[in-house]
Copies of this chain bind each other. A is one copy, B any other.
Amino acid sequence: MDSAKGSQAQCESLHTDIESFFQTAPPLKDHFDTSRKLREFIQQNSPTTGNGIGRRIVCVTSGGTTVPLEQRCVRYIDNFSSGHRGAASTEYFLKAGYAVIFLHRRGTCQPYCRSLPEDSLLECLELKEGESSIQVRESYSEDVKGAIRHNHEAIKEGILLKLPFTSIFEYLQILRMVATSMNSLGPYGMFYLAAAVSDFYVPWETMAEHKIQSASGPLDMRLAQVPKMLIMMRKEWAPVAFCISFKLETDTNILLEKADMALKKYKMNMVVANELSTRKEEVIVVANSGRITVRRDKTNSDVENPLIKLIVDRHSTYIEESAKN
C-alpha cells in the first residue's frame, strides 16, 4: 500500500475515534463555569494582549484519571499518582513568573501543601488548652502558614487557576477546552502534561448501566484504547504551544525507547522520562537536541527545581526562535 495513503487512513481513523470519544462521553457538569474562568484567566495573564503585564501561561496536569466500569459508577480503574510532581512543578513555575492552570485530579496533592500530613486539618490543628479556640500545632506551624500564605497569594494575584477532574472523560474534555483557549497565546503557552492518563477505557455507550454482578465465576473485561489525544493537541488544539509530555515506566529497559518514540510520534518539544522507583531522584529529559539527565541537588529538596529551570530556559529559546520565523 502507498505509505502516504496508509498514514492518511490512520489519521482519519484517529479522527473518527476521537470524535466518537467526545460525542459519547458524559457531558461536563460545570462546562459553562469552567469555560468562563478559563477565558478570564487567560485574558488577564496573556502576554499577547498588549497591556504589557502579561506572563507566559503553563497548563500543568497532575494526578491520575479514572475509568468508570459502570455508568452508575461504583467501580472504576484508577491510575495511581499522588500528584506530587504536578504540585511541586506548579510551585516552581509560579516562582519563575508563569501563570499556572493546575488541571488536577480531585483530592491529590496541592501546590504548597506537599509537606502537610494526610488528614491535614485534624492532624495540624488542636484546641487551645482549656479554651474553645483552635490553634495550629507548634510542629506544623511553619508548614501550615506557608501553605495558606502562598496558596492564597497566588489565587488572589490571579496567577493560579485550579481546575479539578476525576474521570478520563472529564480530564480530556477540560484539556481540550484549555488547549483551544490557550492557542491564542502562540509560543507563550506551555503544556506540562504530568498527569497519569489511562491508556484504556470502557466506551460510555458499551458500559454496563448497573453494578456488575459477581454471581458466578471470574470477570472478563475488554477495555478499548483511549485515542491518542496528543496528536490532536499538536495538529488542531494548540499547534504552536511548547509541549512537554511524561513517560512513566516501571521497567527501565523500555523507558528511553518509549520516550524517544513519544517525542517523534506526538511531536513533543520535550519528553520527561521517569522510572517509578527513582522518579523523585532523577528524570531524563528527551528532546530533539539530545538527552539530559536531571538530578535532585542534595542540598536542595526537589528534582522539580532544576527540571523547571531547564524547561523555562528551553521555553525562552523556543519563544525567541518562533519570533524569528
Contacts and interface: CB of A to CB of B under 8 A. Distances in A.
* Number of copies of this protein chain within its complex: 2
Interface string A192-217: 00001011100000000111001001
Interface stretch (A10-18, A75-83, A233-241): A75-83
Interface residues of A, number: 60
A200 to B, nearest CB: 5
Nearest to A162: B119
Chain B CB count within 10 A is highest, among A121, A126, A217, for A121
B147 A126 contact: no
28 contacts: A66-B78, A72-B276, A72-B277, A75-B77, A75-B198, A76-B77, A77-B77, A77-B78, A78-B78, A107-B118, A113-B121, A113-B122, A116-B121, A121-B121, A121-B147, A121-B148, A125-B148, A132-B149, A133-B145, A134-B148, A209-B250, A210-B251, A214-B225, A217-B225, A219-B225, A220-B220, A220-B223, A221-B223
A232 interface: no
Contact of A214 (B75, B147, B151, B200): B200
B196 A219 contact: no
Tell me the interface secondary structure of chain A in the complex.
Answer: mixed
